[in-house]
């Protein structure tokens, strides 16, 4: 498994390429799922596209470069606009359930991408095939995608996990959680500032078990 602690140009390039693919498909799936569930807002804005340029936020992209260099931080793609009033209700969960499906589509796409890389690695291992430099890329591709899925499932706005949590909790909890919509981003920034201390412990405490489970299921680690 590659060591992300020491800078290596090949690993750096692999991480950047992985981020571009992972974020593009992540945001595409948000937009496409919303369209399938009745909201064409993202479609009219050209977000149902596999063109990376329409999904990247300049500051978020800069953060990806810093993370690829080994610095602690959080990064993001350009949020997909969704009008939940235009979504078709998802059974007893209503429009909140549809919003949860739209939110889940992004992290789930990263799980699928990571699983594909893990599958290729396992097949190569069982068959004794040598992948050469491709093995490094596949490991990075798998880990980054699983990490993005785990991070986005943190139940804190604007991350996808908050929308999913809001849908599955009883309705009386929603007004209690509503203030987090305003304070979610500042909280994430504070966690970033204290990234090597309490911030990393909080984020790691949530994401590490999810990442470990994904690795165990798909990579056998």
DSSP conformation letters of 144-194: HHHHHHHHHTSSSTTSHHHHHHHHHS-GGGHHHHTTHHHHHHHHHHHHHHT
pLDDT of residue 6: 64
pLDDT of residue 3: 46
> Which of 1-5, 33-37, 180-184 is predicted with the least confidence, judged by mean pLDDT?
1-5
Residue 200 lies in a domain: yes
Mean pLDDT of 46-52: 97
pLDDT of residue 60: 83
Residue 3 lies in a domain: no
Using the predicted structure, report yes or no on whether residue 159 has a pLDDT greater than 70: yes
* 182-217 pLDDT, tens digit each: 777 777 777 766 655 565 666 777 788 999 999 999
Mean pLDDT of 145-159: 89
pLDDT of residue 112: 98
Residue 4 lies in a domain: no
Residue 26 lies in a domain: yes
Q: Among 159, 212, 218, which residue's Cα sits nearest to residue 184? A: 159
83-92, 116-125, 166-175, range with greatest mean pLDDT: 116-125
Residue 153 lies in a domain: yes
Range of the domain at 78: 9-219
Location of structure tokens 């889940």: 104
pLDDT of residue 48: 97
Residue 138 lies in a domain: yes
> How far is it, in rounded angstroms, from Cα 105 to Cα 111?
10
pLDDT of residue 83: 93
Beta pairing partners, 77: 56
Mean pLDDT of the chain: 86
pLDDT of residue 1: 42
Instruction: Identify the burial level of 21 via C-beta atoms within 10 angstroms of its C-beta, where 0-12 means exposed, 13-18 middle and 19 or more buried.
Output: middle
Q: Which residue has the higher pLDDT, 105 or 70?
A: 105
pTM: 0.88
For the chain, what is the domain count? 1
Residue 71 lies in a domain: yes
Using the predicted structure, report yes or no on whether residue 124 has a pLDDT greater than 50: yes
Q: Among 163, 3, 156, 9, which residue's Cα sits nearest to residue 80? A: 163
Residue 37 lies in a domain: yes
């Amino acid at each position: 498994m590659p060591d992300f602690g020491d800078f290596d140009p090949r690993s750096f390039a692999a991480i950047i390429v992985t981020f571009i693919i992972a974020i593009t498909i992540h945001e595409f799936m948000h937009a496409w799922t919303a369209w399938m569930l009745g909201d064409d807002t993202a479609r009219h804005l050209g977000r149902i596209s596999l063109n990376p340029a329409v999904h990247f936020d300049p500051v978020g992209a800069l953060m990806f470069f810093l993370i690829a260099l080994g610095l602690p931080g959080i990064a993001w793609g350009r949020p997909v606009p969704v009008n939940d009033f235009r979504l078709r209700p998802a059974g007893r969960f209503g429009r909140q359930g549809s919003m949860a499906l739209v939110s889940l589509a992004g992290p789930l796409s990263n799980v699928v991408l990571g699983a594909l890389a893990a599958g290729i690695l396992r097949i190569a291992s069982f068959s004794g095939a040598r992948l050469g430099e491709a093995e490094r890329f596949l490991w990075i591709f798998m880990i980054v995608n699983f990490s993005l899925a785990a991070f986005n499932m943190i139940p804190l706005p604007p991350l996808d996990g908050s929308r999913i949590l809001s849908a599955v909790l009883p309705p009386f909890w929603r007004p209690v959680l509503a203030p987090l919509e305003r304070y979610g981003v500042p909280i994430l920034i504070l966690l970033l500032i204290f990234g090597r201390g309490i911030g990393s412990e909080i984020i790691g405490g949530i994401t590490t078990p999810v990442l470990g489970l994904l690795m165990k299921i798909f990579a056998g680690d």
